[in-house]
Amino acid sequence: MIRRLLLVITLMGTQAFAADPAIFEFDDPTQAARFQQLAEELRCLVCQNQSLADSHADLAGDLRREIHQKMQEGATNEEIVDFLVQRYGDFVLYRPPIRPTTYLLWFGPALLLVLGFGVFIVSMRRRNQSLTPTLSEAEHRRMAKLLEEED
Amino acid sequence: MLRYTIPLIVFIGLVLFFADGLQRDPRQVPSPFIDKPAPELGVPRLKTPDQEIYRSDLLGKPALINVWASWCVACRAEHEVLLRLARETQLPIIGLNYKDKREAALQWLANLGDPYTTIAVDADGQVGIEWGVYGVPESFLLDPQGVIRYKQIGPLTWKVVEEELIPLIQSFETQGG
Inform me whether the C-beta atom of residue A109 falls under 8 Å from chain B C-beta atoms. no
B30 contacts A91? CB cut-off 8 A? yes
- The beta-carbon neighbor of B134 closest among A45, A66, A85 is A45
- The beta-carbon neighbor of A87 closest among B124, B132, B135 is B132
Inform me whether the C-beta atom of residue B30 falls under 8 Å from chain A C-beta atoms. yes
A59 contacts B125? CB cut-off 8 A? yes
The pLDDT value recorded for residue A25 is: 79
Q: Where is pLDDT greater, at B25 or A113?
A: A113
- In the chain, the amino acid numbered A15 is Q
Inform me whether the C-beta atom of residue B26 falls under 8 Å from chain A C-beta atoms. yes
Inform me whether the C-beta atom of residue B21 falls under 8 Å from chain A C-beta atoms. no
* Count of alpha carbons within 13 angstroms of residue A30, beta-carbon side: 0
- In the chain, the amino acid numbered B84 is R
A59 contacts B134? CB cut-off 8 A? yes
- In the chain, the amino acid numbered A13 is G
Chain B residue closest to A89 (CA)? Answer: B32
A62 contacts B32? CB cut-off 8 A? no
Record the pTM: 0.76
Please check whether residue A110 is in contact with residue A117, taking contact to mean a CB–CB distance below 8 angstroms.
no
Buried residues in B133-143 as b, exposed as e (16+ CB within 10 A): bbbbbbbbbbb
Rounded distance between C-alpha atoms, residue B148 and residue B59, angstroms: 12
Inform me whether the C-beta atom of residue B49 falls under 8 Å from chain A C-beta atoms. no
Cβ-based contacts of A45 with chain B (< 8 Å): 29, 134-135
Please check whether residue B127 is in contact with residue A83, taking contact to mean a CB–CB distance below 8 angstroms.
no
The yes/no answer on whether domain B27-174 falls in CATH 3.40.30.10 is: yes
Q: Where is pLDDT greater, at B6 or A134?
A: B6
Which of B176, B148, B150 is closest to B163 using CA atoms? B150
Inform me whether the C-beta atom of residue B150 falls under 8 Å from chain A C-beta atoms. no
Cβ-based contacts of B30 with chain A (< 8 Å): 89, 91
Provide the shortest C-alpha distance from residue A11 to chain B (in Å). 24
Please check whether residue A26 is in contact with residue A40, taking contact to mean a CB–CB distance below 8 angstroms.
no
Quick check: helix, strand or coil at residue B52? Answer: strand
Chain A residue closest to B131 (CA)? Answer: A87
Which residues fall within 8 angstroms of residue A38, CB to CB, at 6 or more apart? A67, A77, A80, A81
Q: Where are the beta strands (DSSP E) in chain B?
A: 36-37, 43-44, 52-53, 63-68, 93-98, 118-122, 138-142, 147-153
| Domain residue ranges of chain B, discontinuous segments joined by + | 27-174
Rounded distance between C-alpha atoms, residue B165 and residue B66, angstroms: 13
Please check whether residue A94 is in contact with residue A41, taking contact to mean a CB–CB distance below 8 angstroms.
yes
Digit-by-digit pLDDT tens for chain A (151 residues) are 666 666 655 555 544 444 454 578 787 888 999 999 999 999 988 888 889 998 888 899 999 999 999 999 999 999 999 999 999 988 899 888 888 888 888 999 999 999 999 999 998 988 887 777 777 888 888 888 898 887 6
Rounded distance between C-alpha atoms, residue A48 and residue A54, angstroms: 11
DSSP B139: E
Output the CA angle A37-A39-A44, nearest 5 degrees. 145
Inform me whether the C-beta atom of residue A67 falls under 8 Å from chain B C-beta atoms. no
- The beta-carbon neighbor of A89 closest among B31, B99, B130 is B31
Paired residues of B97 in beta bridges: B68, B121
- 10 Å CB burial of residue B53 (0-12, 13-18, 19+) is buried
The pLDDT value recorded for residue A18 is: 45
Rounded distance between C-alpha atoms, residue B152 and residue B37, angstroms: 16
ipTM of the shown complex:
0.80
pLDDT digits 0-9 by tens, B82-107: 999 999 999 999 999 999 999 999 99
Q: What is the DSSP string of B81-92?
A: HHHHHHHH----
Largest pairwise CA distance in chain B: 79
